[in-house]
Amino acid sequence: MALGKNYDGQDCSLARTLELVGERWTMLVIRDALYGVRRYGDFLAHLDIPRAVLSQRLVTLVEAGVLERRRYQDSPPRDEYVPTAMGRELWLPVLALGQWGERHLSRRGARRVFSHVDCGGRIDATATCTGCGAEHLPPDQVEVRPGPGLEDDRDDPVSVALREPHRLLDPLP
């Protein structure tokens, strides 16, 4: 972080977190990784993000331990990016931020509906199942599907795959 003023003067954990995830595009990369996106090209197409930014963000997240880089083929060499346990725990802030937006910034209904894999109940902003009451649901216990407010006009592979219900963390597309 090279800007003249960084958050060093802030001895607080929020600032530490924001130094890592607060740069433009980073939270959306993390969100996509939690949905199950793994490959550079899929992040690129789904997020419509500049290539250099995506490369740099992935490097940063791997170095920080949020994502893990894994070889999925040797010829030619190809890596994918998988959330670590540390990265999976960012699900809660991602959910809280997204639900705030659903509640306050959405003029149509919910764009994405998150439900509990085991009982089908809706998930609230604290990752609690409103159906059965299960709390602290990790991402692999959550299914995402389109809500009534989602405009379905994207045709990249990830957007197409997310037209169907999809369990978080399962590879996409």
- Using CB under 8 A, which of the segments 36-44, 113-121, 122-130, 163-171 binds a copy of itself? 122-130
Q: Within 10-69, which residues bind a copy of itself (CB under 8 A)?
A: 10-18, 20-22, 24, 27-28, 31, 47-50, 65
- Residues 62-121 binding a copy of itself (CB under 8 A) are 65, 86, 89-90, 92-106, 110-112
Q: Is 1 in the site for DNA (CB under 7 A)?
A: yes
As a whole number of angstroms, the distance between CA 98 and CA 104 comes to 10
Question: How long a stretch of residues is the chain?
Answer: 173
Which residue shows structure tokens 């939690």?
34
Of 30, 58, 61, 82, the residue at the interface with DNA (CB under 7 A) is 58
Residue 5 in the binding site for DNA (CB under 7 A): yes
Of 17-25, 87-95, 106-114, 143-151, which segment contacts DNA by CB under 7 A?
17-25
Question: In whole angstroms, how close is the CB of 107 to DNA at the nearest point?
Answer: 24
Query: What CA dihedral angle connects 159, 109, 134 and 68, to 10 degrees?
Result: 30
Q: Which of residues 69-108 bind DNA (CB under 7 A)?
A: 75-80
Site for DNA in 108-167 (CB under 7 A): none
Give residue 45's identity as a one-letter amino acid code: A
Tell me which of 24, 108, 122, 163 binds DNA, using CB under 7 A.
Answer: 24
DSSP for residue 162? T
Tokens 């959306």 locate to 28
Rounded Cα–Cα distance for residues 127 and 155 (Å): 29
C-alpha closest to that of 169 among 90, 97, 101, 61: 90
Cα separation, 166 vs 173, whole angstroms: 10
Q: Which residues bind DNA (CB under 7 A)?
A: 1-6, 23-25, 39-42, 49-53, 55-56, 58, 75-80
